[in-house]
Structure 1
């Protein structure tokens, strides 16, 4: 039986070490729709971005060259995947970039159409809110719905957990936890019209 994979503490889901009153079960405070350079290390100096040497830490022990990351919010993880790759061993930087890149992908119209009307409305509200919050609303609007909009209000990084299974195919797989942003408001269409948000 292989040794269980350990996740580096910077990106690990660690609810049992949380400070009382803290809602973030991770050392990182990061909205996954923002570039990884925006991630804050909440361990120590308040508001400190990650140092280059922290980004270069191995994400797992033992090292893996490919790390598959499953996100329970998207049960269709076979039709799209989050995978971090590095022939020298996946690093914290590789993990954050893979997550960010995955949620920047367009949300396929066919998959969106298969969702319930309520879920579609919530995803559209998330998309409209993102458009309103960006510096270039027109470009964001024209780019259309992204996978990250499917997170709805659950777009804050909550850390990675090992998959805890005896299946050898899952040895290099971990689970991505997301946490909710309580203060997020659902905003209506910034233009007052609703053309197709798919590109």
Structure 2
């Protein structure tokens, strides 16, 4: 478990660079962030969805009613705030990440983006919409924050932020497909 100010993150969500050095090359959760959290699979049983009892478990120990998720990939102050007065669960975190990444990009944010980055994000947008179940509908929804991940849309885990309490950094890797 990753520890942040004596708060430990559930193992299914946790990632640390040290885990790569210790030979852990795949995260405990396999999830393409372009897809809903219901598509997440347990790495130990890739054909099985994440068991419901995992989703209902506290995301942190001790349980906390709030966590924030950030990413160094995002160009703006995009934060994902996850709240549950009874304690944030693993399911709350997955749902929060999905909702946060499905948010549309504003015209102002798009206008502030460099031409080069716009082209990269547009490529990711078109690839995502073409792979969706309803490409026309998805295309009409416009560019989403998940498109800023470009091809790095596979969830790896969350790493505690040393500077900000109750904050974890989203780590992703290049998608296999």
Q: TM-score, normalised by structure 1?
A: 0.80
- Please state how far the C-alpha of 1:182 moved relative to its aligned partner: 5.2
Q: Distance in 1 between matches of 2:25 and 2:143?
A: 28
1:177 aligned to 160, 171, 176, which one? 171
Give the match for residue 109 of structure 1. 107
Give the match for residue 74 of structure 1. 74
Alignment check: 8 A CA contact 2:41 2:48 kept:
yes
Q: Distance in 2 between matches of 1:39 and 1:6?
A: 22
Q: Secondary structure at the match of 2:82?
A: strand
Cα 1:113–1:182 change in 2 (3 A) is farther
Q: Distance in 2 between matches of 1:28 and 1:70?
A: 19
Write the mapping of 1:33-112 to structure 2, written as runs, cut at 5 A.
Answer: 33-43=34-44, 45-77=45-77, 80-112=78-110
Q: Distance in 2 between matches of 1:49 and 1:154?
A: 21
Structure 2: runs of 5+ lacking an equivalent: none
Alignment check: 8 A CA contact 1:5 1:171 kept:
no
- Please state how far the C-alpha of 1:10 moved relative to its aligned partner: 0.4
Q: Distance in 1 between matches of 2:67 and 2:36?
A: 19
Q: Distance in 1 between matches of 2:126 and 2:166?
A: 36
Q: Distance in 1 between matches of 2:46 and 2:39?
A: 14
Give the match for residue 33 of structure 2. 32
Higher Cα Rg, which structure: 1
Structure 1: runs of 5+ lacking an equivalent: 184-199
- Deviation per CA, 1:132-187, whole angstroms, max 9, x where unpaired? 1112111111111111111111111110111123xxxx22111111111254xxxx
Give the match for residue 9 of structure 1. 11
* Bigger strand fraction: 2
Alignment check: 8 A CA contact 2:30 2:46 kept:
no
Q: Secondary structure at the match of 1:158?
A: strand
- Deviation per CA, 1:6-56, whole angstroms, max 9, x where unpaired? 111000014444585x743x211101121111001103x332211111101
Q: Distance in 2 between matches of 1:173 and 1:116?
A: 28
Does 2:144 correspond to 1:146?
yes
